[in-house]
Structure 1
Amino acid sequence: MRLRHLSVLAAVTALLALPVQGQAQAAGPGRAYHVAPWGSENAYGSEARPLRTIGDCLSRVRPGDSCLIHRGTYHEQVNPPSGTKDAPITVAAYGDGPVTVDGTEPVTGWKDAGDGMVSADTDLPLDPDFNAVFLDDDRAAEGRWPNSGPDPLNATWAEADATSTDQRIDDTDLPDADWTGATVHLWAGSNPWAQQTGTVTATSPGKLDFKGGNHRCPPLCMGDQNYRNYYLVGSKAALDQPGEWYYDKTARRLYMVPPKDGIAGHTVTAKHRLWGVDLSESSYVTVRGLNLWGTSLRTGNDSTGVTVDELRATYISEFSTLPMPPDSDLAIPPFEGHIVASRILDSGVQILGTGNTLKNSEISRSAGDGVLLRGTGNTVTNNYIHDVGWMGSYTPGIEINGNGHTVTHNTVRRTGRASIDTAWQLNGTEFHDNRIAYNDLSEAMRTSRDGAPFYVCCSLNASGSSIDHNTSHDADGQVGYYIDNYSGRFLMHHNVAWNTGQRGTGFNGHAGPSIGNRDHNSSYGVGINGSSVQVSNATDATDTYISNIVGPMPITVSQTGDPLPVVRSNLITVKPGHTDAVNGELWPTAGSPVIDAGETVDGITTDVRGAAPDIGAYEYGEPIWSAGCNLPGCQQRVRHGTWTATASDGTDAAAVTDGDINTRWTGSSPQSPGQFLTVDLGEARTFDRLSLDAGRDTSGQPYGFSVAVSRDGTHWSEPLARVSGRSFTQDAVFPRQTTARHLRITLTAGGPVPWAVNDLRLYGDGPDSATTLQAEQATVVRGVRRGTAATWVLGSGDWLGFREVNLAGDRLTVRSASSCARTCSLQLRLDAPDGPLLGVVPVRGYSDGKWQEQSVRLKREVTGSHDLYLVAEGGRQVAALDWLTVRS
């Protein structure tokens, strides 16, 4: 095999220095109009005499012109006209502060309504199912029974009695009230892979009848089933805690339980506009640097040449029911199972049409999709998408319909079901020529069990599509990558999965074909307890081929059908020689059995060092590729160290902190207030969120708990977070970043079964320097180009920086490659490229471009949150950087 020299060194002379990220960009060749809240309608539109509304500006622009929008909040719908291919129209933030397009309007005129409530007469123009209300700029919850916390992905459910039937709920805990007309939300059945809603038709003590829901009973129905979860909304009877609201659409009256100090002095707004930026009839428009609040953005089926850049969209979609999609939305003949596709086309930031782009954006807080991608040849890249899909249908972080799309370098975190999904009911069976690569998918499957962070169904033909270099982890579904129900021609390679449940990748023939599916050079780690790869129930597996896989569990193929898949050159071992499996660093170390043990696969094993390809997703000696975006928030998980846990009841709690989602600690007795777990992190870490994961079991989640911290294990803080709700993964969110070594999790409520925890994870606001900081995920760079793994060569004075890194350590380790023939170094500096010098790593060139890891002691231990810069000094070609860490 050929020895692949370091391409970044060979190509350094071809590089041009790129501008620093975040600099203001030119408005374009045409006229620039200015817009500001302090402007006027009759102004000229200059910077000195700006226009007052974005709409006024858009009524004047022509192809090539720009609307430059000054800081402020704009309560309007933005409808840009079309530009041309050579002269697009630009709508952009000017750069003097946040520019927010707000889809809400104030609700005023509050009066006492009795029974501890206030009301206001207001005409909410949206379909009542899409109403959303905000109290003091936070989402206010629609009145609900049983009560739940503020996080809709941390929901509290009622559990019906086993005597319930398909259209009747029996529940002795149901409050005695008139629930007629309320919406009942169901997560019920023998294996409920989607949620449904119905309407209450009659109530009596401990009982209610409803219609709707219950499609395909079983597995999706109420009754004597494994799952009998439900809650009620849409009824005035549910109003019983501050901030809850109910809208009487007949009287056009909004009711609310006011804060404890009354409604005076508080701000209430309600959603008035679904689409704050509506590009459904626009082409050749650039939208850059806008914030959206309580509204969303869409392009149209005929849109082309639209670029959406640096969007920050929050609370984009809200709805309370899950109706069957209309037949007109379906690409295949309708049947009742299509309930799973409910609201996919009604929600999210929507990139439709041909040749449009969404990039460098943060999309968050949606009952449905994060992003809907539909049409042909669109691009979604370098976005942070999180906290979406909480209503529990198949609305994912990114919904992909159509052909020829590029979906790369996105971080998708905390979703009700899948991180990335396609709905064949809406898409049809074609899924051609899509590239889905370098995405980081985590904390998926919060409101479902049967599914995966990456999920496709059904009967799709993925010819020409590639799903590669993705990471899938920390999800409570069945599998990391799931190609379900007769789908074929999926090329999977160089993917990574850990803590995904039963399998790494699954191809489900479902008593049908699984044709042309391939998985090559993927790595599967801890938290997989069934199969590393599974091909199940395939009657025909022609051209299905699995090779160069490393994983802890066997590759399984159901022995039915003809022909069977080709399965060879794989390594099944619990000792693969990975760097740090618990933290998902599944790249090989020296002496690993994966090195040079693989087979050549045309088009897949292209970067080879040594005698043969390595098995798995990383080639030993090559740069370590990374997945996900490089925006603030994209890197949050705190590195798992030598953590230990002890239980107040004396039971062995090692499973809480072993980093394996499939091991479980269970308390010795039913839950009662005061039971606790104490966790020692081994060293101080910085975090602002704790996740307690109870795996895929349907019992054992705490009914309530609090979290306190300590630096010494003796003196404890007051509780920093209190959590109620019984979702499978429960998050304790702290009001601020916290640095501590010890945690104490104490039950605050009783329950009928013992407490159970499968995994404990910590997250911080910003990257953790103890994890591996990949160079290509640096937030800012100067004079160097980032690749999909490592950087190209830094010259003297070039640098790369990571913003708001959580630091706690005194040793810097750098992996770099250099051809420098003189004295060269990489300097670690704090807060700025010319900030305090913490440490210097000398680098020396090697003729073969060999990557070297070097460690140095820092001048002092550094703690807290800081910007971190690595600055090159010493010559025109100092070094290419792969990664760095700061640890104790």
Structure 2
Amino acid sequence: MTRRDMRRRDIRLKHLAVLAAVTALLTSPVQAHAAPSGHTYHVAHRGSDHAPGTQVSPLRTIGACLDRVRPGDTCLVHQGTYREQLTPPSGTKDAPITIAAYGDGPVTVDGTERVTGWKDAGGGLIAANTDLPPDPDFNAVFLDNARAAEGRWPNSGADPLNTTWAEADTTSTDQHIDDTDLPAADWVGATVHLWAGSNPWAQQTGTVTATTPGKLDFKGGNYRCPPLCMGNQTYRNYYLVGSKAALDQPGEWYYDKAAHRLYMVPPKGGIAGHTVTAKHRLWGVDLSGSSYVTVRGLNLWGTSLRTGKSSTGVMVDGLRATYISEFSTLPMPPDSDLAIDPFEGHIVASRILDSGVQILGTGNTLKNSEIAQSAGDGVLVRGTGNTVTNNYIHDVGWMGSYTPGIEINGNGHTVTRNTIRRTGRAAIDTAWQLNGTEFHDNRIAYNDMSEAMRTSRDGSPFYVCCSLNGSGSSIDHNTSHDADGQVGFYVDNYSGKFSLHHNVAWNTGSRGTFFNGHTGPSIGNQDHNSSYGVGINGNSVLLSGATDASGSYISNIVGPKPITATQTGNPLPVVRSNLISDKPGYTDAVNGELWLTPGSPAIDAGEVVDGITTDTLGAAPDQGAYEYGAPVWSSGCDLPGCQQRVRHGNWSATASDGTDASVTVDGDINSRWTGAAPQAAGQSLTVDLGESKTFGRLSLDAGRDTSGQPYGFTVSVSGDGMHFGEPLARASGRSFTQDAVFPRQTTARYIRITLTASGPAPWVVNDIRLYGDGPDAASTLQAEQATTVRGAERGTAATGVLGSGDRVAFRKANLRGKHLTARLDSACPQGTRSCSLQLRLDAPDGPLVGVVPVAGGGDWQERSVTLKREVTGTHDLYLVAKDAAQVAALDWLTIRP
């Protein structure tokens, strides 16, 4: 046995032995929970608040239950919608109070109330007299259980991350807008929302003070001019909201706060038969005064959840929160919220502390939850020692301040295994204005961050600012990709002592990681064993502008572009043992599979870094984020929806104008196709996927230059490339990336994108991406990201050993293929005649479509078999172990043609 083989064996045994400890925080919410000692009360709509609260005679409201509970007691809530605010008392460390869904159907805490009494208001409007309790800036209205847009000009689509902007004329000045397209109306009192300046890295709002045809004056905004101001700037984007004059589309609304009157443009055919609700409760679950409370399995609609500064021991598990925060203005944070002396640039921190699901205090946990649809934060974690793990956070931060998917303030937090997708700016961020300069002992690991920076042009999915001391913090094993900013991982403006390692970035613009000294110090920052792929055209790692970069250290990096570090400080920055190559031996760079293949020059080419290069195989550590021969680690959550991107294959594209459009589907966000003439309705791109794929959303990335963004388009599909049906999806807006969402999963080989509007410049496309409702089985399905793992523990890479009857399952996988490949480590006893892994569809005992024989002994190996038949469509996918008490540990699998 060679030294490498012996080391592989030792690592394998060690890996399998520690799986349970590694994954303690990632327990699935569907597992059985032991009932705490104490009294159990039942709540159901059929009950009465005067009942005893038994299952036979339940209480009617959750609030009535909370009035009765004492430490150790439980409220079990039966299916239904509960329009109330939950404010539980505290339990104790040994006897927490529990609020949990019973399990007989969804339990929704709804923060809205129905609006009735609609009457004709003239001018095509209807109105209802109603009091909306929240601050008017936080109003939200829903029509037939969908978000209704506040009236605005210019009109925009339903997706607030795909917004449509007006563009001011170049004669505009700081607080004056000239726009020949501005409709003549009384806009006084309206909110003007600005995304303007020479380099607009944040958005602002002001109030219109005067209007004349084609002109308006406003107060507010313009806190940094340049780069954040109106006037004759590179970017002059704005829209108007909060005015009755803007009501011109069905479903749009305006609230007259002085008259307490809600106006709406009714749906076509009138309001009869439709339901309108409006937000009444900001915090549907208010734990700001509670400790030692468990909240499990609840849904939130139109409201949010918070703990408080003194909260401890709160566990939030399996929350599904939708439309958690809505607001229309971006005010300067009050001085009382700031951790450092106030100045006008702090406008970027607007709304961070009053939005999102909020995990404040000490020792609280949010896990196994889906957080979606927020004008501000997805999650705010603040205080000390809190945990945010295994959550799916998406479609947040659309108002364009620094509100991210997860905002981290404080010390000692653990933020792991989260998938954060479609954010206005960063996926993970910290605000030094609110946090102060300390940021020590935080662990940020195994998070997947993508589709960030939808409403800003200068930032990154992972963003640190400013002057922070990151001592003891580790940012490791994260993936950052498919984002419209400039960088994958960004440590900005004088921050130091941040340790980055084993991170992966691709399709992030100009750089993989950026340490920005910005005419100040950037001390002790490190990046080791990270991998950078396609879609980076500047530096793999850049440390620049530092007056003092003492102790900086960059090593064992694999990337396509050079590494540059300002040589200042004592000791000088160290840059060594890195591989800069366009052929590093990645498995599949276009699809972000940056692990190494046999013969890669990165194997055994790294140096030893204490605390970083552990579990090394071979003569020396490998360069890059993945050790060759070891299980391949993955990032992100294991909940439904966490895996969506369709695997990029042999795609091609043709343009209706005859130009070469191949770069639109080359998987590189920096390559660009430009149309031959200014935009006009009917111009099109046709994409051939090479084989049929199943998808539910198309993203058209037009890069960070707003001049070529499409003004609107439709998407139609075809099976043969000749016969295209009616458009199945459409998009409009002026955002960097625009999404066309299909009403249902669609399977097709050919896609046609057709412009629906004219524009002054040719349209541009940098990248076209597809997303499904579930994982694409042609991609590498990581076993530790399976929706269900039964009979073995999940690890950071692979599962533990599966025994007979144990299984791994992927929910709603999109299948089209007949060849199964699985990477596994056999545990089948020597001399056993047969061990196997069975591939079954839709159930553990569902149709058997393939068997992978597992021979005794061995190391991590890929095993490929031909299935009994080609499998197509969307199925729950089960891999079931058979024939022995120990069969194999599973790393990943694929199903391909």
Both proteins in one fold, TM over 0.5: yes
SS of residue paired to 1:344: coil
SS of residue paired to 1:55: helix
Residue 303 of structure 2 corresponds to residue 295 of structure 1: yes
Partner of 2:9: 5
SS of residue paired to 1:352: strand
Superposition deviation, residue 571 in structure 1: 0.5
Partner of 2:398: 390
Residue among 717, 727, 739 paired with 1:719? 727
In 2 relative to 1, CA 13–324 (structure 1 residues): closer, same or farther, beyond 3 Å? closer
In 2 relative to 1, CA 499–10 (structure 1 residues): closer, same or farther, beyond 3 Å? closer
1:182-235: CA deviation from partner (whole Å, max 9, x where unpaired): 000000001011000000000011100001000110000000101000000000
Q: Distance in 2 between matches of 1:69 and 1:392?
A: 37
Partner of 1:141: 149
Partner of 1:407: 415
Superposition deviation, residue 134 in structure 1: 0.2
Residue among 94, 102, 119 paired with 1:86? 94
Residue 831 of structure 2 corresponds to residue 831 of structure 1: no
Where do residues 611-630 of structure 1 align in structure 2 (5 Å cutoff)? 611-630=619-638
Superposition deviation, residue 724 in structure 1: 1.3
Where do residues 201-216 of structure 1 align in structure 2 (5 Å cutoff)? 201-216=209-224
In 2 relative to 1, CA 302–183 (structure 1 residues): closer, same or farther, beyond 3 Å? same
Residue 880 of structure 2 corresponds to residue 871 of structure 1: yes
In 2 relative to 1, CA 311–15 (structure 1 residues): closer, same or farther, beyond 3 Å? closer
Q: Distance in 1 between matches of 2:28 and 2:331?
A: 47
Partner of 1:857: 866
Whether the aligned pair in 2 keeps the contact of 1:9 and 1:819 (CA below 8 Å) is: no
Whether the aligned pair in 2 keeps the contact of 1:8 and 1:791 (CA below 8 Å) is: no
Partner of 2:746: 738
Partner of 2:197: 189
Write the letter of the residue equivalent to 2:890. Answer: L
Residue ranges of structure 2 left out of the alignment (5+ in a row): none
Superposition deviation, residue 819 in structure 1: 3.2
SS of residue paired to 1:864: strand
Whether the aligned pair in 2 keeps the contact of 1:706 and 1:747 (CA below 8 Å) is: yes
Superposition deviation, residue 9 in structure 1: 4.3
Q: Distance in 1 between matches of 2:568 and 2:604?
A: 33
Partner of 2:326: 318
Write the letter of the residue equivalent to 2:311. Answer: S
Write the letter of the residue equivalent to 2:604. Answer: D
Write the letter of the residue equivalent to 2:845. Answer: D
Partner of 2:471: 463
Residue 604 of structure 2 corresponds to residue 596 of structure 1: yes
Superposition deviation, residue 7 in structure 1: 4.8
1:281-339: CA deviation from partner (whole Å, max 9, x where unpaired): 00000000000000000000000000000000000000000000000000000000000
Residue 163 of structure 2 corresponds to residue 155 of structure 1: yes
SS of residue paired to 1:426: helix
1:547-569: CA deviation from partner (whole Å, max 9, x where unpaired): 00000000012455665411000
Whether the aligned pair in 1 keeps the contact of 2:8 and 2:629 (CA below 8 Å) is: no
Superposition deviation, residue 695 in structure 1: 1.1
Whether the aligned pair in 2 keeps the contact of 1:24 and 1:95 (CA below 8 Å) is: no
Partner of 2:437: 429
Which stretch of structure 1 is more off in the superposition, 584-593 or 855-864?
A: 855-864
Partner of 1:843: 854
Partner of 1:747: 755
Q: Distance in 1 between matches of 2:609 and 2:31?
A: 43
Residue among 614, 639, 655 paired with 2:647? 639
Residue 118 of structure 2 corresponds to residue 118 of structure 1: no
Write the letter of the residue equivalent to 1:5. Answer: R
Superposition deviation, residue 24 in structure 1: 4.2
Residue 223 of structure 2 corresponds to residue 247 of structure 1: no
Superposition deviation, residue 21 in structure 1: 5.8
Residue 269 of structure 2 corresponds to residue 261 of structure 1: yes
SS of residue paired to 1:270: strand
1:640-667: CA deviation from partner (whole Å, max 9, x where unpaired): 0000000001100011000000000000
Write the letter of the residue equivalent to 2:506. Answer: W
Q: Distance in 1 between matches of 2:756 and 2:729?
A: 11
Whether the aligned pair in 2 keeps the contact of 1:21 and 1:781 (CA below 8 Å) is: no
Q: TM-score, normalised by structure 1?
A: 0.99
Q: Distance in 2 between matches of 1:125 and 1:527?
A: 47
Partner of 2:58: 50
Write the letter of the residue equivalent to 1:728. Answer: F
CA RMSD of aligned residues (A): 1.4
Whether the aligned pair in 2 keeps the contact of 1:692 and 1:761 (CA below 8 Å) is: yes
Residue 551 of structure 2 corresponds to residue 543 of structure 1: yes
Partner of 1:327: 335
Superposition deviation, residue 831 in structure 1: 0.7
Partner of 1:606: 614
Whether the aligned pair in 2 keeps the contact of 1:831 and 1:869 (CA below 8 Å) is: yes
Whether the aligned pair in 2 keeps the contact of 1:507 and 1:534 (CA below 8 Å) is: yes
SS of residue paired to 2:121: strand
Superposition deviation, residue 715 in structure 1: 1.6
Write the letter of the residue equivalent to 2:648. Answer: H
Partner of 2:78: 70
In 2 relative to 1, CA 15–352 (structure 1 residues): closer, same or farther, beyond 3 Å? closer
Q: Distance in 2 between matches of 1:13 and 1:751?
A: 61
Partner of 1:282: 290
| Identity between Structure 1 and Structure 2 (%) | 80
In 2 relative to 1, CA 251–571 (structure 1 residues): closer, same or farther, beyond 3 Å? same
Partner of 2:592: 584
Superposition deviation, residue 14 in structure 1: 9.0
Partner of 1:531: 539
SS of residue paired to 2:675: strand
Residue among 107, 121, 128 paired with 2:115? 107
Q: Distance in 2 between matches of 1:12 and 1:483?
A: 35
Write the letter of the residue equivalent to 1:49. Answer: S
Superposition deviation, residue 796 in structure 1: 1.4
Which stretch of structure 1 is more off in the superposition, 550-559 or 51-60?
A: 550-559
Where do residues 675-690 of structure 1 align in structure 2 (5 Å cutoff)? 675-690=683-698
Residue among 763, 767, 779 paired with 1:759? 767
SS of residue paired to 1:475: coil
Whether the aligned pair in 1 keeps the contact of 2:183 and 2:213 (CA below 8 Å) is: yes
Residue ranges of structure 1 left out of the alignment (5+ in a row): none
Superposition deviation, residue 874 in structure 1: 2.2
Q: Distance in 2 between matches of 1:11 and 1:468?
A: 18
Residue 391 of structure 2 corresponds to residue 374 of structure 1: no
Q: Distance in 1 between matches of 2:811 and 2:11?
A: 28
Write the letter of the residue equivalent to 2:876. Answer: D
Write the letter of the residue equivalent to 1:852. Answer: Q
Superposition deviation, residue 25 in structure 1: 2.4
Superposition deviation, residue 470 in structure 1: 0.1
Aligned length: 886
Superposition deviation, residue 27 in structure 1: 3.0
Q: TM-score, normalised by structure 2?
A: 0.98
Q: Distance in 1 between matches of 2:730 and 2:470?
A: 46
SS of residue paired to 1:5: helix
Residue 798 of structure 2 corresponds to residue 803 of structure 1: no
In 2 relative to 1, CA 7–876 (structure 1 residues): closer, same or farther, beyond 3 Å? farther
Superposition deviation, residue 752 in structure 1: 0.7
Whether the aligned pair in 1 keeps the contact of 2:550 and 2:568 (CA below 8 Å) is: no
1:331-390: CA deviation from partner (whole Å, max 9, x where unpaired): 000000000000000100000000000000000000000000000000000000000000
1:63-102: CA deviation from partner (whole Å, max 9, x where unpaired): 0000000000000000010000000000000000000000
Q: Distance in 2 between matches of 1:10 and 1:454?
A: 32
Write the letter of the residue equivalent to 1:829. Answer: R
Whether the aligned pair in 2 keeps the contact of 1:686 and 1:806 (CA below 8 Å) is: yes
Superposition deviation, residue 698 in structure 1: 1.9
Residue 565 of structure 2 corresponds to residue 554 of structure 1: no
In 2 relative to 1, CA 11–749 (structure 1 residues): closer, same or farther, beyond 3 Å? closer
Whether the aligned pair in 2 keeps the contact of 1:485 and 1:509 (CA below 8 Å) is: yes
Partner of 2:575: 567
